[in-house]
Structure 1
């Protein structure tokens, strides 16, 4: 059964309804902090702002603490409520999503650390335009994936999966350009390598946002779409939608 924003408010136990809503709310709060971490880390790097970079590094503990707290809430629900069907999918999706959000937080902290190194060494001669651009893309991917989670929106989740392919292409293009530049100017190798590590971290953030979007589709449709292309996922979603419309049409005729 597909789920909607109303699905998890239909239990006889009001307490169970509240517990399910709380883990979703806490996940989205953690996601909001992580998304800010990504934006701040990229800003700190591009602007050479060591104060913001330090703040990102300090906030990483808050991200980790939120993951532990949400995992504990989910464990209690599994033990006490023994959820089934869409309720179980929600709890499992939240557990998986918090793990990816924590990893995004780690990548943001890594970018902040590299930003601090570059402030000390002197800015790299290349790569900041690409960093800002790809940084904005992956931050929006995280934001869209979280919005899809909040709204049970598979179309928005699919959009994130498609955006990840674009990020991968742009990452490879930027990396090739920077390698060529280092060959032409060996004096810049150390600082440009730092930018390449930043771009790698951003590409990994895109991968984790991609995972978040996959969990939304699993949550709403019950489909495990890992290792499946966005094109195949889109086709499967369209088939399901057509089958659902056909079933509704037949039910209306029968009545």
Structure 2
């Protein structure tokens, strides 16, 4: 996650922090996978697993943030090291919020399962965007672990594909609801799920942006996509 330091204890601190952050990321990935599987199969016990897992994520967020604060207090880092610790804290927040979105998907799935018209809406775009969001999050965590700015910049650009699937589903959903008003209730629940998936992609993108910030010192949160390559390379 970082270069070697004169203090070997500092390196140990950073390695342990990285391990914990990636462990949390793995749990978030599992939460998303369970939530999407529950949506596909209306598996209510799986929904409950997602809701139970949320408590562990919340605890991990607090634990890791406390460790970031302790490292800053002990080591008084500057420059890239300080950016790294600040970025780690932001990544933890984004992971916890991505976990929140998985919980929202699970809760909406429970509602949909009780609807008479549960299978009346074609959700191909939701399934595809869920796969995309999971993939982007995995790649974002890998980019953070390796501090790979090129991979991070590509992730930021790829998030647009999730947005496109969301917009495509919205257009299709409007048609469904106009043609058959009985689908309105379940359609709105699926719209909520689609939005949650879009937000997962946004949180993954935020993690990728943190990588560019740590390495180059450039804040790319509002930088046009065609400029990302230059900022990622620090040129």
TM-score, structure 2 normalization: 0.95
Does 1:70 pair with 2:64? Answer: yes
Who is 1:19 aligned against?
A: 13
Shift of 1:139: 0.5
User: Matches of 2:127 and 2:172 in 1, distance apart?
Assistant: 16
Q: Is the 8 A contact 1:74 1:91 kept in 2?
A: yes
Who is 2:113 aligned against?
A: 119
Who is 2:139 aligned against?
A: 144
Who is 2:150 aligned against?
A: 155
Q: Is the 8 A contact 2:218 2:231 kept in 1?
A: no
Shift of 1:239: 6.4
Who is 1:186 aligned against?
A: 181
Shift of 1:180: 1.4
Q: Is the 8 A contact 1:46 1:128 kept in 2?
A: no
For residues 6-58 of structure 1, what are the alpha-carbon distances to aligned partners after superposition, in whole Å with 9 as ceiling and x for unaligned?
51x222x2222111111111111101110111111011001111111110010
Q: Is the 8 A contact 2:177 2:184 kept in 1?
A: yes
For residues 206-249 of structure 1, what are the alpha-carbon distances to aligned partners after superposition, in whole Å with 9 as ceiling and x for unaligned?
11111010001111221111111221111333562xxxxxxxxx
Q: Where do residues 160-171 of structure 1 align in structure 2 (5 Å cutoff)?
A: 160-171=155-166
User: Matches of 1:238 and 1:79 in 2, distance apart?
Assistant: 31
Structure 2 alignment gaps of length 5 or more = none
User: Matches of 2:214 and 2:133 in 1, distance apart?
Assistant: 22
Question: What secondary structure, in the 3-state scheme, does the structure 2 residue paired with 1:121 have?
Answer: coil
Question: What secondary structure, in the 3-state scheme, does the structure 2 residue paired with 1:228 have?
Answer: coil
Q: Where do residues 1-16 of structure 1 align in structure 2 (5 Å cutoff)?
A: 5=1, 7=3, 9-11=4-6, 13-16=7-10
Does 1:29 pair with 2:29? Answer: no
Q: Is the 8 A contact 2:94 2:203 kept in 1?
A: yes
User: Matches of 1:149 and 1:166 in 2, distance apart?
Assistant: 21
Who is 2:209 aligned against?
A: 214
Shift of 1:90: 1.1
Moved over 6 A (4+): none
User: Matches of 1:76 and 1:214 in 2, distance apart?
Assistant: 24
Alignment partner of 1:89 out of 83, 94, 109: 83
Q: What is the Cα-based RMSD across aligned positions, in Å?
A: 1.3
Shift of 1:127: 3.6
Structure 1 alignment gaps of length 5 or more = 241-255
